[in-house]
Structure 1
Amino acid sequence: MRSSLRRRSRSAILATAALGLTGCTVGAGAPPLATGTNLPVVQSLHDALPQAIKDAGVLRFAGDSHPPYRTVAADGTVTGIDADFQAAIGQVLGVRTQTVVVAGLPAALQGMLSGRYDAFNGPVKATAERERQFDTITWMTTRTAYLFPVESTAGITRTEDLCGKRVAVVAASVVEDQLNKLSRFCTENKRPATQTIGVDDTDATLLATRSGRADAAGMTEAAAIDVTQRQGGTKYVTQTEAQGATKDNLALYVPKASKLGPVLQAVSEELFRDGTYVNIMSRWGPQPGFGTGAGLRRGHARLMRSTVQKGHPMGKPFLKPALVAVATALVAVTAAVVPVPSEVDAAAPAAPPAPPAPPASTVFHPVVREAAAKTGQYAAEYTVYRPADLDAVHGRLPVVVFGNGACRHISNDELLTLETLLAAHGFVVVAVGGFDEPALTENGSPQPKVITDAITWAERENDRRGSALRNKLDPRRIGVAGHSCGGLEALVAGADPRVKSVLSLDSGFFADGTLGYGRENLRNLHTPVLFADGGPNDVAYDNSGENYDLVTVPAVRATNAAAGHTGFVYGQRDGNPDPSVREEAVRVLVAWFDFTLNGNRTARGYFLGTGCGLCATPGWTVTSKNF
């Protein structure tokens, strides 16, 4: 295949309220990555740099304030995905990197053309007009979301409710383009057009909404997720294809005349191959649509192809990601899913067949997040997270059904990051909750039928003519999992004979049967079960430990004392933001189901034995029994 550098621009990403600094130089070059990784210099790539950059010893990036990509602190420090990504680029090239904070996209583009900056990490949508002057390197795709305050009186519960409403968007961004398409959808359906309020950056869209100048703020879904999780007090709706939404490739921009584009594409491909991109994206939470291939587009000459799937995915080796989260994440590292192993035995999970399958932790796929096809009456609606290219998958895939904290049965946004990354490692995740439902403050009661109905749905989809999942799922390898109240649902559903593995995340039955289900249900388990909790500050800590003590099936208890009740979900350590806690939780999820559903020996060693991998991870305490 012909190597292509696909330049795609990417729109503004989300923003928490940040600073509108202009022309302020921040950050040093090639610092250690936040993940603690130090990458070796690739001399051939350093030698290929334009002479002016080699002489200066610094690569200058323009950047506006767009969390989680770029968050500018009061002292001018820039953190986020871009800071880590640019540090990695600098390490590989053997130069310093420098970020100059600018006021929006026009300032970044003009600054590059005038020679003040060497590149802009975007993410920005590539257009034919811009590609006459810039090379663009695709590194993610986007869906568009519209954020609004929880206390809003504008009557927004569905995306179509935005018809006639005032929506703030970054001017000239992909989101503005998507809003125009939504407006056409409105008028074609005899509803009033949306009213566009163009502003400089994502922070300004949020300020417009908070001040009442706008009813909603348009942004990428990644941005909406970040604002919702970090700040709270907001909800969002996503634009569907029926409402004019299209998938847009988002890119890093480099002036064509600088000849820097091919060098940055080669560096990006290297970061995809060695897993650095995946680590960075995972650290900050899978962003729906983060990519897996680097495409550099020079005018009309493709140097490396990057593909994008429906939902949130993207394509080939350029930067290897993780969501969606929104995801949705696209990272295709090896594009090989674990072959179908023999059925797992309840007392001792079977070893994988020969030749041994690679651990799921080494497999990473682009991911699609999509609504579950409605083919019957079920206890809830469901959202599916799956590898984007099912035809490239070898063998049938295991299925994991996931229940939500607070027994939420309408929305599944809380677990989007964990579910996206689990799917990226070769699992089909069926999540309780509708695809287009906004994040709701919903507190339900346990209904284990939402878990068992999801299993039934997956079985029917595997057999249904016309289903994208037809003959792609392995009904012999089904796991159930849940967070908090959703963990109770998973533990009860674990009695279903179709279930081969159970994971209880920050959960466990109460001694007095609170919430309607008592510890007598533990006697019904017939498969391996993992109890993972966040230590004494986790409200489920005692229940988790006492449930582990009572079960008679093979069981593991894994505790991270700093995570508390929500650290695994939101990336928190001792109540403070720390994405590494969520990274560790993802490794636990992937390894557990790889061990118990795929029978992988490497994954087994992550939990069992004196030298188990999780046992050696700082902050974790691991016990096991009955294996």
Structure 2
Amino acid sequence: MLVVIARIAIEKGNIMIRCVLRCLFACSFIGFSTLSVGEITQSKVLDEGGSGQYKAVVTTDSALPEFVIYQPLDIRQAALAEQRLPVVIFANGGCNDTSYPFEHMLSDIASHGYLVIALGAMQQRLDDRPIVKASNDMMVDALDWIAQATKDKNSRYFDSADMKRVAYAGQSCGGAQLLAMAEEPRVQTFLMFNSGIGDMTMAQANKSSLLSLHGPVLYLVGGETDVATANALLDYERIEHVPVALANHANAGHSGTFEEPFGGSFSRMAIKWLDWQLKGVSANSATFLANDVKGFSDWSVKAKQFTR
């Protein structure tokens, strides 16, 4: 019922139904706290909730207003089925405080049983507020918040997040933010979308920041026309201390496939990786270790330092 009401509220824009939806979000859980519990102040549904088994909703929580939370709509049911949800913290292209260009992908990831928190407040249009730079520290702030919320019995996120299954992800300059914050010990894996540091300094990261990576890392780039490809290849060659894979879409360019429904093949490749690294779906390893790209037109993958 909650899924149905959410879809109607977003797609039809009925004010009364939106109020009911907010009430259901609030009343389905016990009480509120000042630390990790607020109310849903904005929400929307993309691509009919995504391609995964859990219909996803994009939300703003008043307790975390400068971020967007991409989550299964019935988060309790999803968390129970998944034995808590892995967490993905996402830093945006341009180091900007908006995930609007990536929301189709992030929503689709959530629909596959993930809790995704992206830097920057929600937007309904890219021009509906000024865009500023997000700070690197926001990645840790998001992780700290969900760690508190999942322990708070008064929170709608209580017992929903698995803090032992965490990924940092970033696109373009957001990838540099990821590298700058990669020492975070709670992170198990890293995803660099259209990003590579090479010999640059960006967002307080440089080539020495690669040494802060302490888990498997996936680079996803868009071929020769992607300005990040050369740096990603250089990073790949330089990384010798952790497993690393590089997935290259020959024709996607720097903007990837993020604006396609469900985030296109960049989203599907990322989910393959996340399901392998955070959910233990070992069958997915062939995509990265054996360049098994069936179903991924124009993609090629290579990897090193993995133990099969």
- Please name the residue that 1:567 is paired with: 256
Could you tell me how far apart the structure 2 residues matched to 1:512 and 1:589 are? 25
Is the contact made by 2:173 and 2:202 (CA closer than 8 Å) also made in structure 1? no
Equivalent of residue 239 in structure 2, options 541, 551, 559: 551
2:284 is the alignment partner of 1:625: no
- Please name the residue that 1:613 is paired with: 292
Equivalent of residue 271 in structure 2, options 590, 593, 603: 590
- Please name the residue that 1:287 is paired with: none
Give CA-to-partner distance per residue, 1:132-172, whole Å, 9 cap, x none. Answer: xxxxxx9953426xxxxxxxxxxxxxxxxxxxxxxxxxxxx
- Please name the residue that 2:141 is paired with: 453
Alignment CA distance shift 1:564-1:443 (3 Å) = farther
2:280 is the alignment partner of 1:599: yes
2:10 is the alignment partner of 1:143: yes
Identify unmatched segments of 5+ residues in structure 2. Answer: 23-39
Letter in 2 for 1:598: K
- Please name the residue that 1:465 is paired with: 153
Is the contact made by 2:42 and 2:61 (CA closer than 8 Å) also made in structure 1? no
> Which of the pair has the greater relative contact order for Cα pairs under 8 Å at 6+ separation?
2
2:46 is the alignment partner of 1:327: yes
Is the contact made by 1:446 and 1:488 (CA closer than 8 Å) also made in structure 2? no
Could you tell me how far apart the structure 1 residues matched to 2:178 and 2:118 are? 12
Alignment CA distance shift 1:461-1:140 (3 Å) = closer
Q: CA deviation at 1:448?
A: 2.2
Is the contact made by 1:533 and 1:558 (CA closer than 8 Å) also made in structure 2? yes
Give CA-to-partner distance per residue, 1:451-471, whole Å, 9 cap, x none. Answer: 111111110111123111111
Could you tell me how far apart the structure 2 residues matched to 1:442 and 1:615 are? 42
Moved more, 505-514 or 519-528: 505-514
Could you tell me how far apart the structure 2 residues matched to 1:510 and 1:474 are? 33
**CA radius of gyration, larger in:** 1
Moved more, 484-493 or 440-449: 440-449
Give CA-to-partner distance per residue, 1:318-360, whole Å, 9 cap, x none. Answer: xxxxxx5x436436xxxxxxxxxxxxxxxxxxxxxxxxxxxxx
Could you tell me how far apart the structure 2 residues matched to 1:534 and 1:476 are? 31
Could you tell me how far apart the structure 2 residues matched to 1:538 and 1:475 are? 33
Secondary structure class of the residue paired with 1:431 = strand
- Please name the residue that 1:508 is paired with: 196
Q: CA deviation at 1:396?
A: 0.8
Q: CA deviation at 1:436?
A: 5.4
2:233 is the alignment partner of 1:535: no
Equivalent of residue 420 in structure 1, options 107, 121, 125: 107
Count, aligned residues: 282
- Please name the residue that 2:93 is paired with: 405
Give CA-to-partner distance per residue, 1:101-122, whole Å, 9 cap, x none. Answer: xxxxxxxxxxxxxxxxxxxxxx
Is the contact made by 1:595 and 1:601 (CA closer than 8 Å) also made in structure 2? yes
Is the contact made by 1:329 and 1:420 (CA closer than 8 Å) also made in structure 2? no
Could you tell me how far apart the structure 2 residues matched to 1:541 and 1:330 are? 31
Is the contact made by 1:445 and 1:515 (CA closer than 8 Å) also made in structure 2? no
Equivalent of residue 369 in structure 1, options 50, 58, 63: 58
Normalised by the size of structure 1, how large is the TM-score?
0.41
What is the Cα-based RMSD across aligned positions, in Å?
3.1
2:97 is the alignment partner of 1:434: no
Is the contact made by 1:369 and 1:386 (CA closer than 8 Å) also made in structure 2? yes
Q: CA deviation at 1:246?
A: 6.3
Letter in 2 for 1:421: D
Could you tell me how far apart the structure 2 residues matched to 1:515 and 1:413 are? 20
- Please name the residue that 1:381 is paired with: 66
- Please name the residue that 1:485 is paired with: 173
Secondary structure class of the residue paired with 1:463 = coil
Letter in 2 for 1:141: I
Is the contact made by 1:510 and 1:519 (CA closer than 8 Å) also made in structure 2? yes
Alignment CA distance shift 1:544-1:527 (3 Å) = same
Is the contact made by 1:398 and 1:428 (CA closer than 8 Å) also made in structure 2? yes
Q: CA deviation at 1:445?
A: 4.9
Listed as ranges, the matches of 1:147-296 within 5 Å are 174=12, 178=15, 241=18
- Please name the residue that 2:182 is paired with: 494
Give CA-to-partner distance per residue, 1:21-71, whole Å, 9 cap, x none. Answer: xxxxxxxxxxxxxxxxxxxxxxxxxxxxxxxxxxxxxxxxxxxxxxxxxxx
Q: Which has the higher helix share?
A: 2
Is the contact made by 1:311 and 1:368 (CA closer than 8 Å) also made in structure 2? no
Could you tell me how far apart the structure 1 residues matched to 2:295 and 2:208 are? 34
Q: CA deviation at 1:366?
A: 1.2
- Please name the residue that 1:66 is paired with: none
Could you tell me how far apart the structure 1 residues matched to 2:276 and 2:42 are? 29
Could you tell me how far apart the structure 2 residues matched to 1:465 and 1:373 are? 17
